[in-house]
């Protein structure tokens, strides 16, 4: 596992990601940031910024590390709830769901620990 370090406002969040999927996860977050300003909804989802990644964390904090699959499920629900009429929101949902499906497959195969 690798750990993606996210910052949202004054909060730091750690998300565990399978080794081979960190680049895809970071690319997804960057793509969502690139497209979020194109949405016409009154209140777009709030997105964190990627500030780092690590192979190892000695966790001493109070907040637990969130697993990547749970993070993607939450992210998907944020975008599903949008009532977007002008931007093809389905394209962003497809990207989120594609990575989520890969994580679910790893979980089924016992490779997502």
DSSP per-residue codes, 30-86: HHHHHHHTT--SSSPPP--EEEEEES-----SSSPPEEHHHHHHHHHHHHHT---SS
Range from 36-40, 85-89, 97-101 that averages highest in pLDDT: 97-101
CA distance between the termini of the chain: 8
**If you average pLDDT over residues 14-39, what whole number do you get?**
93
Degrees to nearest 5, angle at CA 51 with 35 and 34: 10
Each residue of 44-96: pLDDT tens digit? 899 999 999 999 888 777 767 899 999 999 999 999 988 887 778 888 999 99
Query: Can you give the pTM of this predicted structure?
Result: 0.90
- Residue-level pLDDT at 113: 60
Q: What is the mean pLDDT of the chain?
A: 90
So where are the chain's domains?
Answer: 2-108
């Amino acid at each position: 596992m690798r750990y993606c370090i996210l910052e949202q406002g004054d909060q730091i969040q750690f998300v565990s990601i399978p080794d081979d999927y960190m680049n895809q996860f970071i690319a997804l977050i960057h793509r969502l940031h690139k497209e979020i300003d194109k949405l016409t909804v009154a209140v777009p989802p709030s997105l964190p910024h990627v500030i780092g990644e690590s192979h190892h964390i000695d966790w001493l904090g109070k907040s637990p590390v969130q697993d990547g699959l749970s993070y993607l499920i939450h992210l998907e629900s944020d975008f599903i709830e949008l009532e977007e009429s002008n931007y093809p929101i389905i394209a962003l949902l497809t990207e989120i769901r594609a990575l989520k499906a890969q994580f679910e497959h790893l979980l089924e195969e016992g490779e997502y620990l």
